[in-house]
Amino acid sequence: MREIKVAAAQLGPIQKAESRAAVVARMIALMQQAKAEGCPLIVYPELALTTFFPRWYHEDRAEADSWFEAEMPSPATQPLFDAARAMGMAMSFGYAEKTPDGHHFNTSILVDAAGNIVGKYRKIHLPGHVEYDSERSHQHLEKRYFEPGDLGFPVWRTLGGIFGMCICNDRRWPETYREMGLQGVEMIVLGFNTPSVNSQKGAEGLAQRLFHHKLSVQAGAYQNATWVIAVAKAGDEDGHHLMGGTLIVNPDGEIVAESQTEGDELVIHACDLDDTVFGKETIFDFARHRRIEHYGRITAQVGVVLPPED
């Protein structure tokens, strides 16, 4: 039994005018609740410190740098690190990362109970577009403000298990989970900011968005015998609605807990990492069952399809 009581800390909306200090105060309040509930780990959403700024067009990309953190801990997040260390709380959260050499990533980190950053992930699957698109009901400019992640899909041995991270759109791609599954991942923590309407397909509304979200996360968990913690930033940000749907999914792909609101809300579940063992040793024992040498044009890597033989 390797139980870890996880607090999925959904954040409600963050308005464009809201300060990082105000957001960090909300995050610390949720952390205090998690501590009171006996949770050793809290997971926050993607881009947890600011509004979902890729919906806003900046002609001059340098203007968008105000949404980024140039260091971590940054001055705004130092109180969060201090509170976590004081409470002995491990945490994960997403933020916009600007590196010293001027690169921009949609990033998440995993911080242990002593306040050390033990893992970093940079979002690989960036949805949206680079230039202003007047055809869309709202902009989704992640490709304008971020570069694709350059760290791959690592996993880390910490907190008594094998942990991995991904971010938002990554969760829609089976390779994301399998890359970590092949490394024995037992718990994947991810944050998301998902508009409840599709900017290009008006008919796709909240119900279908929630369906695709749950389908993707439950499949990823089941097909790799891993826990998945998926945490929303939700609610109406300056008139733009983000869906909720914070989930804790077990290694059988079952939703064991989910948010009921679109505000700041803790979703808590005691996750036994040993629940991953049966799946990894039977139906998804990759070594015994996954015959990649018989897959034909798909190489040993996940899903890499060789160009057609001429």
Residues of this chain that bind ligand ING (CB under 6 A) = 127, 168-169, 172, 192-194
In the bound state with ligand ING, the residue whose beta carbon lies nearer, of 128 and 279, is 128
Q: What angle do CA 78, 79, 83 make, to 5 degrees?
A: 120
97 is catalytic: no
39 is catalytic: no
168 is catalytic: yes
Strand order across the beta sheet in which 265-272 lies: 117-122, 104-111, 90-98, 41-43, 3-10, 265-272
Is residue 155 a contact partner of residue 180, using CB atoms and an 8 Å limit? yes
In the bound state with ligand ING, the residue whose beta carbon lies nearer, of 2 and 16, is 16
Considering 39, 46, 258, 271, which one is annotated as catalytic?
46
Q: What angle do CA 225, 226, 228 make, to 5 degrees?
A: 140
Closest distance of CB 118 from ligand ING, Å: 24
Considering 35, 69, 97, 123, which one is annotated as catalytic?
123
**Tokens at 228, concatenated:** 């998945």
In the bound state with ligand ING, the residue whose beta carbon lies nearer, of 5 and 214, is 214
What's 305's DSSP letter? B
Closest distance of CB 27 from ligand ING, Å: 19
Closest distance of CB 240 from ligand ING, Å: 12
Closest distance of CB 68 from ligand ING, Å: 16
In the bound state with ligand ING, the residue whose beta carbon lies nearer, of 9 and 162, is 9
Strands 255-258 and 247-249: antiparallel
Closest distance of CB 168 from ligand ING, Å: 4
User: Would you list the DSSP string of 247-291?
Assistant: EEE-TTS-EEEE-SSSSSEEEEEEEEGGGGHHHHHTTT-HHHH--
The residue of the chain with the least Cβ separation from ligand ING equals 169
**Tokens at 72, concatenated:** 């971590």
Is residue 77 a contact partner of residue 31, using CB atoms and an 8 Å limit? no
In the bound state with ligand ING, the residue whose beta carbon lies nearer, of 94 and 161, is 94
Please list the active-site residues.
Answer: 46, 123, 168
